[in-house]
Structure 1
Amino acid sequence: MINGFSCRATVSACAVCVMSVLALTPAAAGQRPAVPAPPGPRAAVPPPSLLYDSGTQVRPRPGAPGLPDVSALSWLVADADSGEVLAASAAHRRLPPASTLKTLFALTLVPALPAGLQHRVRNEELEDIGEGSSLVGVKEGHTYSVADLWRGVFLSSGNDAVHVLASLGGGWEATAARMQAKARSLGALDTHVVSPDGYDTPGQVSSAYDLAVFGRAGLRDPDFARYCSTAEASFPGDGASYAIENTNRLLTGEDGVARYPGIIGVKNGYTSNAGNTLVAAAHQGGRTLVVTVLNPQAGGGLTVYEEARALLDWGFAAAGRVDPVGSLDGLRPRPRHPSAAPVAAATAPGHDSGWPDAAVMAGLAGLGAGTVTLVLRLKYGRGARG
């Protein structure tokens, strides 16, 4: 038998439970219900990236211009300011980059080596230059400024200048390791560096995506931007300097290739294994675009410039009339499946428990019903044991 004190204590405890439940439920009939707070802003969900999908990727809006015919094995066109990729084909396909890898080399070492530093070249710094390499004419025993050597890299694609700068940067292998680390820090995961000058070496690869990342990042460095946009310069020689000219035809307008309006430059390359490769940037109408074109399969050696021109023309015409297919801000996880993309769940402010609202209300309702039943049983003696 339950004594009076125990019964009263139990009823009191249950009353507290009922009151707690009522406090969590809507206002009773006859009382004005509280006005619910307006929903908080939800996080914008970016469209899924298409850059790991095969084939040409573009998201045109009504009225967008059609893409040009491009024969390159891989290409990409992006807004250099926002990082939005406007269109691409096989953006993450790993291919030999040739001298466009010098963009990563410069991105790594330009900030580390003062432009005015004078250096007398030693014989060992010019050893092991790959056969058939492009050269600017660096000579043992001559003194060059770091700025001279960078002009030799960007204008003449001089692998001799690259070897001397790599020596100043800690050595050939150490420079390759620094370049690899720099690529990873930018989210460029397709690049594997073996030879810092871009010379054909087994296992050395990059992608249209990664090279666009390097070009975009380089343009943010004033020294890099100045070197890559220089069309002509003087290079120290025996007793007198001699003229060197940039081999990027979009920048110089040589060999029947018209100079591109608003061209900034960046870097071109060629090897028998990589074919013709190009990273180019141009500025028009308040917008800067960066394009990469890797190994065109049609035409001759100048096709890479014409295909880059066509992509730049399309990109400027398509501004505001296409949705991005991805981003050059690569510090984001790769989707598990090619067509999948991570989507962050958006929750309203104050709802951080992870429990759905319906589940919470159902639980409270169940708690209230159970509490009332217990009170009635105690009141009428049902289920009491003697």
Structure 2
Amino acid sequence: MSKILFDHQIFSLQVYGGISRYFANIQQALEKEDDCSGRISVLYSKNYYIKNYQAPFQNSLGERLFSSQEKEYKWNKKYSKYLIGKNNFDVLHPTYYEPYFLKKLKKPYIITVHDMIHELMPDSFSSNDITSVQKKEVIANAAKIITISETTKNDLKNIFDVEDHRIEVIYHGYQQKEQKFHSSQDSLQKDKYLLFVGARSGYKNFNRFVNAIAAFLKHKGNINLICAGGGTFQKEETKLFKKLEIEKYVTQLSASDQQLDALYANALAFIFPSIYEGFGLPILEAFQNRCPVALSSSACFKEIADDAAEYFDPMDEHSILTSVMKIIESQENTSSLVEKGIKRLENFTPQACFDKTIALYKKIS
């Protein structure tokens, strides 16, 4: 029996988020294995994806004791150190890059590198952000490194000079769901809005995207932009909307997974203008919900979507708008993109992700 220990980091930092969902899904897959088990070293976590995990204080007492994220992180870190010191596992899989575990660790560990954004786009982060420094140290000592795309693997090799044989590319898996809805009967009709999902700052390229479509929104008058997640609009964003005279066309919504599925299913198009990403899970979410996509022409997005998207130069506002218009103006093109998207999902099954990851655990345990 191979015992895998996941540390606390991402589960102490995120309530929702792609990285914590990735690790939660792997841990849950391990529960179904006969010869491999997984444990998460948290005393208590507010993370949505492990809400049913039987942590020692995953109850009302824990909610009171660890009321702030600072307390939650501090005590979960102490607990992680304690379990690592006990040495009752075969492989450690840290969930983020803080190297606190290196001095006590006696067993091999695997690290997953989701992207190289901190290294490629440092201006998007504060000057005292130490993520890149920590990442480099953790990568240097790892038995194996998982990257979630060939693009991230190549970036990792180029930036940190990591040997090819130490890296395993394992794509994220996307769990397809039974469709229970399509066009809604309320204000979110399929010809009414474009969809943007997630964070909007820095490399996400949101402001340039908004500038690109502003005149189009005003001209049409009956098409809106919905931003799902990413927090409420900042003052700078509302100033931009006012300057462009599109305040009434732009809305921000916090959405559950089910609500997000409905937003994709009823959107005119999903737009992903990021200058760089390590994977792009929202692309698969859009494919699942039969939503046509317009994407930045980054290497990663082309790797994931192949011919199932309209592509644009993320630095060129005219190019962005042209791609959006190609979807809006041609039902034939839209239908073709949707069908190609459904086909692309076959390349990103959760079981393939789990099988390859678990095989790697067994290989080094």
TM value normalised by structure 2: 0.28
Q: Which has the higher contact order (CA 8 A, sep 6+)?
A: 1
